[in-house]
């Protein structure tokens, strides 16, 4: 009996401590200030994001000697691109690869081909970039064909 209750206590502690560990890594309470979309566009050009990205309706200065960009940012999506998702896509590109591309086109051994800017990009630049990018996403309702049966 004693052993059983000691064991139960031990298991209980592990569960609780495990829970705390998860809590410690939780994004609860995370919030960044609003950025400036105009400054974000300047940052996009300055950091040469258009080496690899194009955005419908936006023209960026030509980059001689660089292959045409191949990953679209913005455009039609079926679900809103949240602030958190865009921040994550920039500072942790391999966390979740962009939808709609064959993995070997945008990644190598599971790692995104996007540069990691974390050592060079300021937080202000990050939030400005996100403010610039977010309005370019247009949420569309997926279209399904229904067939009516008599
Ligand atoms: C060397 C090429 C390259 C450069 C330069 C680059 N990216 Fe990317 N980026 C990629 C690739 C490849 C992906 C798709 C794989 C992924 O999701 O990480 C991507 C994905 C993204 C996504 C997610 C798109 C989606 O639909 O989920 C965002 C947002 C993004 N990049 C922003 C930026 C910004 C901002 C810059 C400049 C600071 C930048 N990228 C520079 C290659 C690049």
pLDDT digits (tens, 9 = 90+) for 8-57: 777 776 666 666 677 888 989 989 999 999 999 999 999 999 999 999 99
Residue 124 lies in a domain: yes
Q: CB-hemisphere CA count at 13 Å for 26?
A: 9
Residue 52 lies in a domain: yes
CATH of residue 88's domain is 1.10.760.10
pLDDT digits (tens, 9 = 90+) for 133-143: 999 999 998 77
With H, G, I as helix, E, B as strand and everything else as coil, classify residue 37.
Answer: helix
In whole angstroms, give the CA distance from residue 118 to residue 57: 28
For residue 58, pLDDT beyond 60: yes
Pocket test for ligand 1, best of 45, 53, 117, 139 (most atoms within 8 A of CB): 53
Q: How many domains does the chain fold into? A: 1
Name the more confident of 119 and 19: 119
Residue 96 lies in a domain: yes
Average pLDDT over residues 62-71: 94
What is the domain range of residue 121?
33-139
In whole angstroms, give the CA distance from residue 12 to residue 31: 33
Q: Which residues contact 117 (CB under 8 A, 6 or more apart)?
A: 47, 90, 91
pLDDT digits (tens, 9 = 90+) for 80-115: 889 999 999 999 999 999 999 999 999 999 999 999
Distance 4 CA to ligand 1 centre (A): 54
Residue 86 lies in a domain: yes
Ligand 1, atom 15: nearest CA belongs to which residue? 97
Residue 15 lies in a domain: no
Q: What is the pTM of this model?
A: 0.85
Instruction: Give all strands (DSSP E) within the chain, no chain letters.
Output: 53-54, 71-72, 75-77, 107-108, 111-112, 137-139
Residue 150 lies in a domain: no
114 lines ligand 1 (CB under 6 A): yes
Residue 2 lies in a domain: no
pLDDT of residue 8: 77
Ligand 1, atom 26: nearest CA belongs to which residue? 98
Residue 8 lies in a domain: no
Ligand 1, atom 28: nearest CA belongs to which residue? 89
């Amino acid at each position: 009996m004693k052993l059983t209750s000691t064991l139960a206590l031990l298991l209980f502690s592990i569960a609780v401590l495990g829970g705390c560990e998860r809590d410690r890594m939780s994004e609860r309470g995370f919030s960044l200030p609003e950025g400036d979309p105009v400054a974000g566009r300047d940052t996009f050009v300055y950091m040469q994001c258009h080496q690899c990205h194009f955005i419908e309706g936006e023209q960026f200065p030509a980059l001689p000697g660089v292959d045409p960009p191949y990953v679209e940012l913005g455009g039609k999506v079926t679900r809103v691109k949240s602030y958190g998702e865009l921040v994550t896509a920039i500072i942790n590109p391999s966390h979740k690869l962009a939808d709609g591309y064959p993995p070997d086109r945008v990644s190598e051994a599971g790692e995104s081909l996007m540069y990691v800017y974390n050592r060079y990009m300021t937080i202000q630049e990050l939030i400005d970039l996100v403010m610039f990018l977010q309005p370019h996403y247009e949420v569309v309702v997926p279209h399904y064909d229904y067939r009516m049966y008599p």
